[in-house]
Structure 1
Amino acid sequence: MRLPIASGVATLAVATTLYPLFDSTTWLWTVVGAILTVTVLGVLADRFNLPLWAMPLASLLGLTLYMTAVFARDEAWLWVIPNWDSVTALAELWNRGFGDIQRFAAPVPDQPGIVALTAVGVGVIAVLVDLFAVRARVAALAGLPLLALFTVPAAVIVEPIAWPSFILAAFGYLVLLVADGRERVSRWGRAVLVRRRPGPGDVTGQRHQGPLRLSGKRIGFAAVALAVLLPTVVPDLAPNPLFGFGVGSGLGRGNNTISIPNPIAGLRGQLTLPEEARVMTYSSADGNPRYLRTWSLDVFDGEAFEMTPPTGRPQDRVDEGPLPPPPGMSGAVPAKSNQLRVQMSPELGKLSFLPLPYPAAQIGIEGDWRADRSTLVVFSHVEYAAGLSYNVVSNEPRPSGRTLDEAGPAPVDIATRYLQLPDSLPESIRDLARRETRTGKTPFQKAVQLQKWFTERGGFTYQLRTEGHSASALEDFLLYSRAGYCEQFAVSMAVLARILDIPARVAIGYTGGTRIGDSTWEVTTRDTHAWPELYFEGAGWLAFEPTPTGAAGQGTGQVPEYTRFTPPSAADSGTETETDTPASTPEEEETAAGTTQRNQGPLDREGAAAPVTVEEETPVLAWIAAGTGVLLLILLIPALIRVLTRTRRLRAVGSRAVVRLWAELDDMLYDYGMSRGPSESSRAMARRLTEKFEFGQEAAGAVARVASATERLMYARDPGTVTVSAEDVETVRKALAASVTRGRRMRATLLPPSTFARFRVMSGRVLDGFDWLESVGARSLTRRLARK
């Protein structure tokens, strides 16, 4: 009976780690019901000795009845017995749950479909844990399904897992292992609890145990403690640690990493919200809207684009000066400066990235916001954008189509990072990219042909419900369905561009929004958007718009002016069939000298060019030194506790001072290796110290006074007013320190044995409590309650 209950407890403890995936706790009660169903059936199977093969079947049957009663009772017979209608209803509910998972980003609302999927998933985990631990008697392997359950929130959420939740899950697994050990021992007879009692030589309540006694529990406790505490002293090289603290966790100032949300999931979730909500308003100096980029995704793994963790050192704070120059942008391309005033909605949530036009040159904002030098993404690891207002000056390239048509090859670092494609990419997609751009002679001509294929020739339609973005879904979107929303269009064009050797990445942010004033625009969740950015030497990264725009597509999207370019035909002998319209009018363009100066560096606060200094990353040795320093501070905790204890005792007054100073003298002897024997009186101890260590007159008198005061307080019928001086104890301490080696003195100061003895006493009492809990079986508890 003990082992099935422990299996249920372990499953429930690990299931609580799913809490960050939901925005409320109502899902938990449904999950608890599924676990209880499996646990009760496991107890009954144990009680009636069902065969091994019968228990999983009974558990799955019971889980089916439970799911029917909770989610399809109206269609079932007698509200619980499944029939064709109830099975169909459950299947539709699960299918709706899969769709909701695609729509919402964590934390998700408690939609019935999502809750149903969660309950049945946790229930199956409970069946597997019972199968391994109870039926097959391999409790250690039960950790595999529990680990699979634990990895769900670790893989989905971007926030670190709360360490109390991890401790609860780990202790749940330990309970299962302990119950399995007790079950095995009970086969040989009744387990007898061995109480640990103080023995000879105990000092300050120290207890002595055998070397193997309770070693398993101590190893378990130590393993959990190390798993939680060790990350705090080891530098973390990853941007998303398991727990929310540590040297490299990104939760303290001065760090250069940040936890990255899932922009694709957030994009899908905002576009499918039942009601649109305001994200921000902004005013533009020239009165025109701007795409506002928040994230830049550069890594394509065959299924989706992901974001390389941005880096931001203290010198990259945007309030310290202008942003770094945009990669690939030269003075040969005209540029236009514009200023935006942005007001973020206070109900935006925990957004730690700033929506900005690309490329931003200077930002006026309060707080610790930093720029990633390779992408110009601006983020913070201690601030949120909700409710903020800021000014941003952008320095936008205004290239002509002819200039882009004549752009040179991308540098090696850009090509290496932004042309990567997995070998598993279907050949049909590669053939498609080459076939649809076969008439293009330059990379820019091919890029324009790709955009026109998506928006004009390809027969694509805009719709929010899609089949995802895996390799098979990408192939289906490009070759068959040709229906999707901005994510599919942006990812597809970026992949096709990389096939054609055009560096590409995916930007996620917002379109320009809706005009609400002469130069003011409102951006809502319906303006959330994804678009590809392609690289052309001289102009840098430029946005393209493959998503259908207007009423039948992304309503506020716009096709960039520089893509309205028709290359010269062979018959024209170098003349264009259409006007190569530059992105800016002559009144907007600037002098060549001014443009060159602006593109050499970002604007300073007065509008002039400012040099950008490239500095090295923080060396790994610095992180190692920081981790070593934290570790040393932790090792000094026992010494600090000892100092605080001594200070508190020396400040005591009255009769309490005698007791505390005697305790201080007792600890002092233990630290210096001169422990008082269990039967040694205070007077005998004073005489031993004086004779053995040849105390001088002052030290001998001090120890005698402390011993005499202690003796009177403990044994005299009427001790009267008994006092002892803290100076006497300090005199004895100096005499004892002078009589031992330097190594012993350092140990007594830095690693005081008396403090560790108290740690052992405390841990022993905790283990005693667990011993008592283990000794109380269900039957003995029932008998005690019956007698009462």
Structure 2
Amino acid sequence: MTGHARISIAAWGATVLGSLVLTPVFSGPFLFISAFLCALVTGIGVLLQNLRTPRIVVPIVQLFVLVELLSLFFLHGTMKFGLIPWKATALEFNSQMVDAMDSINRFSAPLPQDSHLTLFAVSVITATGLLIHIIAVQLRQAAWSGLLLLIMYTVPAATVHGGLPALLFIPPAIGYILLLSAEGRSRLSRWGRRISGVSHLDAAEPVEASALGQAGRRIGLSVVAIAALLPALLPALPEGVIGNGLAGGGTGNGLGASISSTDPMLDMGKNLKRGDNVVALTYKGGSPGGTYLRLTALDLFDGNTWRISQRDSPHKITGDLTAPSGYSGDLSKVPQTSMEIDVTRTFRSQFAPVPYPLHSISLKRDWQYDAEALDVVSSDGSIVAGKKYKLTSYDLQPTPQELHDSITTSAPDQYTSNVPQRTPNDIKQKTLEVTAAAGDNKFEAAVLIQNWFRSGDFTYSTANAKGSGMSALEDFLLKNKTGYCEQFATGMALMARIIGIPSRVGIGFLPGQAGKDGEFTVRMHDMHAWPELFFQGIGWVRFEPTPSARVSATPNWTVPATGDSTSPTTAPTTVPSTPGAGETLGIDKPRHDPNLPDQSGIPIVDSGNWFTNGGGQIIAGVLGVGLLLCIPWMIRAATRRRRFLRPPGREGAEGLWAEIRDTARDLGLDWSEISTPRQTGQWLLTKLPDETHPAARKLARGIEALRYAGDADPELDLRPEASAIRKALWARAPRRRRWRARFLPPSWRWYLSRGSTEASDLLDEFDLLLARLRSLLFPNRRPHTN
């Protein structure tokens, strides 16, 4: 086989083995399709090189072949004449890549088996394979291709919740070693033919320096063994130690949560379902009963996801912020509340938690705000973790009568009134049915929708992982009626748009738990989503459709002016009724969701005991270390027991001889591998007491006879002699050496070295097997070098 063909095949194998790390991320037949396409591209490269095609032409042709294959497999309907990729092919490819990235951002691993995700995975793997082929074969720098394999491994390792299994590191490592071995053999083949070897069958093959090849195999084998064993032996580090999420890592135990500007809704769901209920922030001031703190508002709904729309140029924070959108009153007469917020380092967010509507904030440099949403976001990608800032907010207090009399004549923007075209008619009909009693009054209709969600027909549960896409909303609204705040907020926002009320979805925190000195503590499980509806002259007003299992009371201003008996129960009069300040809410969670706050609003944070607060881990760690230290002793004891249980005969005698050898090594005696049994027997006499000399002579002469005498007794039983010799050696050894022989026997390390050698020799035998197969298949083929 030519050198370039060998490296090409090794590059293909490295790509396939490296792509195994993507199996926890993607599902479906992406791996088999990728392996097949990479094989075709590799075959084209080998064929062109055999035809002496200029080196620079080969990767260009391979790229065209790869594009053609991807188009035929996934985009055949867009190709011109069904064969030629065209402009429509490129547009469709780009569209599917966008859809794939959207799904990757929305769903946790393993991703669903969708065509666009399969195309994405296959494209990544095949492109990586082509680059590996170019680097290893064309540029002849196989070592650098390891960076691509490392990237392929680190991406899922950083994104899969809980990390990848340690054993998944082994396939890319093996592929990389095979690639390096193939390149090294090709390089050495230019020196000439081998002058020594272990088989005449491979003598005609290109040279492979045996010592160097064996050394490479041993090093590679050791690297793979370390990579496989070390993660299993070391304790797992928390995610925050290295850094996880948006940016940076928190102090303390490394636990925390992240909110990105890409998909805040998805991040909120992850924090509620799988995040730790750590403290996100504390604050003082605001309304006496606590304040809702908002991160941002999602105003764009395309039928699949709720996102932040394309915003105009952000405003720098230099003083007071702009007036809240839609409010037509005199803001100078509106009272203001002051707050001081201290964000912990465990909450990593590009958005700063603030009440709505915000008036001013002490965050200045590297922070900006949006005039419509009045959310505060970093301008350079930094995070709010560890920040402490002061702010003032408007204490707007709309009355039910004001909302009842409000007439919305137009939408405040081009996004918040848009109802996706593919909204099912069943949802529209249900909305009209729920709001029929309101007549033409938008506020009354909004309250009826809120009341419908909180009427008892719906169940609050964080187990709903279907998200807030159109199909998920249809299932939630009309069928299972089970979800958490994401489904309730987006469901009401969509229904409000259907009846002509502009709406968006706020993402932020519930007021949290009151503490001493007027300080409120907000935890990660206090994250919440709610709909905000627009009313002319008043602006954006918060509603609360999430059932009482999560939030016990609704805002006071959502009680209709007519006093309809079907309206939500009015909260206590002491509760502030402002869209920017929260009420004193009773927080309740389903019994099956014990990690969330209870009915009193106090998050369940079990202080536990010494065992649950780390003592159990310490005990497990000590036991694990103890077990690890006992492994050499257990292996030695099992080996000794097996040797003495063997029946008399040649194999049993050799096992007993090996046991005496290992005992001598364990006790620090200089056993010689090159001495004959008789010479070793004479040496043993110098280490044993006189009463054991006959046993030593019988053992040595018995081994000598079994090895060299044809008429030796095949049923010779040497177990009594071996036992006596072992006990005598053990009795004469110093106490320190006996303890070392028990817990860290040197013979165990010798067996590890021998095992590595035998494994490397097995690789040599595999190489010779390939040489024999080549000789059988191509008996008259003359080798040639590359």
TM score, norm. by length of structure 1: 0.58
| Distance verdict in 2 for CA 1:605–1:461, change over 3 Å | closer
Q: Does 1:16 align with 2:20?
A: yes
Structure 1 residue matching 2:162: 3-state secondary structure: coil
Measured in 2, the distance between the counterparts of 1:774 and 1:718 equals: 39
Q: 1:461 aligns with which of 416, 431, 446?
A: 416
TM superposition shift of 1:61: 0.4
**Residues 387-423 of structure 1, C-alpha deviation per residue, up to 9 Å, x if partnerless?**
xxxxxxxxxxxxxxxxxx9987447566996998698
Shift in Å at residue 124 of structure 1? 1.8
Alpha-carbon distance in 1 for matches of 2:766, 2:779: 19
Q: What residue number does 1:730 align with? A: 723
What is the correspondence of 1:580-729 to structure 2 with a 5 Å cutoff? 581-582=573-574, 630=624, 633-655=627-649, 658-671=653-666, 672-675=668-671, 678=674, 680-682=676-678, 685-690=680-685, 692-693=686-687, 695-697=689-691, 699-707=692-700, 710=703, 715=709, 717=711, 719=713, 722-726=716-720, 728-729=721-722
Residue number in structure 2 paired with 1:764: 757
What does residue 394 of structure 2 align with? 445
User: What is the DSSP-based 3-state SS (H/G/I as helix, E as strand, rest coil) of the residue aligned with 2:16?
Assistant: helix
Indicate if the aligned counterparts of 2:100 and 2:117 stay in contact, CA closer than 8 A.
yes
Question: Does the Cα contact within 8 Å between 2:256 and 2:347 map onto a contact in 1?
Answer: no
The letter for the 2-side match of 1:547 is: P
Which letter maps to 1:161? Answer: L
Residue 7 of structure 1: how far off its partner (Å): 1.3
Distance of aligned partners of 1:223 and 1:565 in 2 relative to their CA distance in 1, 3 Å threshold: same
- The correspondence for 2:776, drawn from 756, 764, 784, is 784
Structure 1 residue aligned with 2:487, among 516, 527, 545? Answer: 527
Unpaired runs of 5+ in structure 2?
A: 200-208, 243-251, 291-334, 353-363, 377-389, 422-451, 462-479, 490-505, 513-517, 535-540, 559-569, 578-582, 585-595, 781-786
Alignment deviations for residues 643-702 of structure 1 (CA, whole Å, 9 cap, x no partner): 1111222344544754543332233234443425545235x5434422x236222x2233
CA distance in 2, matches of 1:97, 1:28: 17
How many percent of aligned residue pairs carry the same amino acid? Answer: 23
- Does the CA-based 8 Å contact 2:221-2:756 persist in structure 1? no
In 2, Cα distance between equivalents of 1:732 and 1:149? 57
Q: In structure 2, give the amino acid aligned to 1:160.
A: G
TM superposition shift of 1:783: 4.0
Q: 1:259 deviation in Å? A: 10
Preserved CA contact (<8 Å) 1:8 1:36: yes
Q: Indicate the larger mover: 127-136 or 705-714.
A: 705-714
Q: Which amino acid aligns with 1:764?
A: T
Alpha-carbon distance, 1:19 to partner: 0.9
Q: CA deviation at 1:178?
A: 1.3
- Going from structure 1 to structure 2, the CA distance change for 1:89 and 1:554 (only over 3 Å counts) comes to farther
- Aligned twin of 1:485: none
C-alpha deviation, 1:257, in angstroms = 7.9
Q: Give the alignment of 1:471-510 within 5 angstroms.
A: none
Q: Deviations for 1:73-117, whole angstroms, at most 9, x for unmatched residues?
A: 345356433344544544444444444445544322222222222
Q: For residue 457 of structure 2, what is the aligned residue in structure 1?
A: 516
| Distance in 2, Cα, partners of 1:626 & 1:733 | 36
In the alignment, the residues of structure 2 paired with residue 560 and residue 623 of structure 1 have an alpha-carbon distance, to the nearest angstrom, of: 38
Q: Judge conservation of contact 1:512–1:527 (CA < 8 Å) in 2.
A: no
CA 1:240/1:109 → structure 2, altered by over 3 Å: closer, same or farther? farther
Secondary structure, in 3 states, of the residue corresponding to 1:547? strand
8 Å CA contact 1:534–1:544 kept in 2: the answer is yes
SS of alignment partner, residue 15 of structure 1: helix
Partners of 1:116 and 1:518 in 2: CA distance: 38
C-alpha displacement of 1:66 = 0.5
Residue 318 of structure 1 aligns with which residue?
Answer: none
Q: 2-side partners of 1:55 and 1:609: how far apart?
A: 63
**How much is the aligned-residue C-alpha RMSD, in angstroms?**
5.8
SS in 1 for 2:531: coil
How many angstroms does 1:70 deviate by?
A: 1.0
1:532 aligns to what SS in structure 2? strand
**CA 1:295–1:712: 2 relative to 1, 3 Å:** closer
Look up the match of 1:73: 76
Aligned equivalents of 2:189 and 2:573: distance in 1?
Answer: 87
Aligned-partner Cα distance in 1 for 2:546–2:673:
86
* Residues 76 and 676 of structure 1, relative CA distance in 2, 3 Å threshold: same
| 1:524 shift after superposition | 3.9
| Mapped contact 1:702–1:731 kept (Cα < 8 A) | yes
Deviation for aligned residue 1:63: 0.7
Task: Tell me what 1:427 maps to.
Answer: 368
Unmatched runs of 5 consecutive residues or more in structure 1: 197-208, 243-254, 271-292, 298-305, 312-323, 336-404, 436-440, 467-510, 567-577, 591-601
Q: How does 1:236-385 map to 2 (within 5 A)?
A: 236-239=236-239, 296=271
C-alpha distance in structure 2 between counterparts of 1:519 and 1:109, whole Å: 25
CA contact (8 A) 2:544 2:555 kept: no
Q: Distance in 2 between matches of 1:44 and 1:758?
A: 46
CA deviation vs aligned residue, 1:750-786 (integer Å, no higher than 9, x gap): 43343333333332222123224445668x7444125
Residue 211 (structure 2) pairs with residue 216 (structure 1):
no
- Look up the match of 1:232: 232
Residue type matched to 2:726 in 1? Answer: R
Q: In structure 2, do the counterparts of structure 1 residues 464 and 238 end up closer, same or farther at CA, with 3 Å as the change threshold?
A: farther
How many angstroms apart in 1 are the aligned matches of 2:598 and 2:532? 38
Q: CA deviation at 1:125?
A: 1.4
Aligned residue identity for 2:776: R
TM-score, reference length from structure 2? 0.58
Matched AA of 2:628: I
Change beyond 3 A, Cα 1:47–1:787: closer
Q: Counterpart of 1:461 in structure 2: which amino acid?
A: T
CA contact (8 A) 1:34 1:122 kept: no
**Residue among 5, 10, 28 paired with 1:6:** 10
Local SS of the residue matching 2:23: helix
**1:547 has 2:539 as partner:** no
Alpha-carbon spacing, 1:650–1:554, altered in 2? closer, same or farther (3 Å): farther
1:384 corresponds in structure 2 to none
Equivalent position of 1:121 in the other structure? 124
Aligned to 1:390: none
Matched, 1:60 2:63: yes
Is 2:144 the partner of 1:141? yes
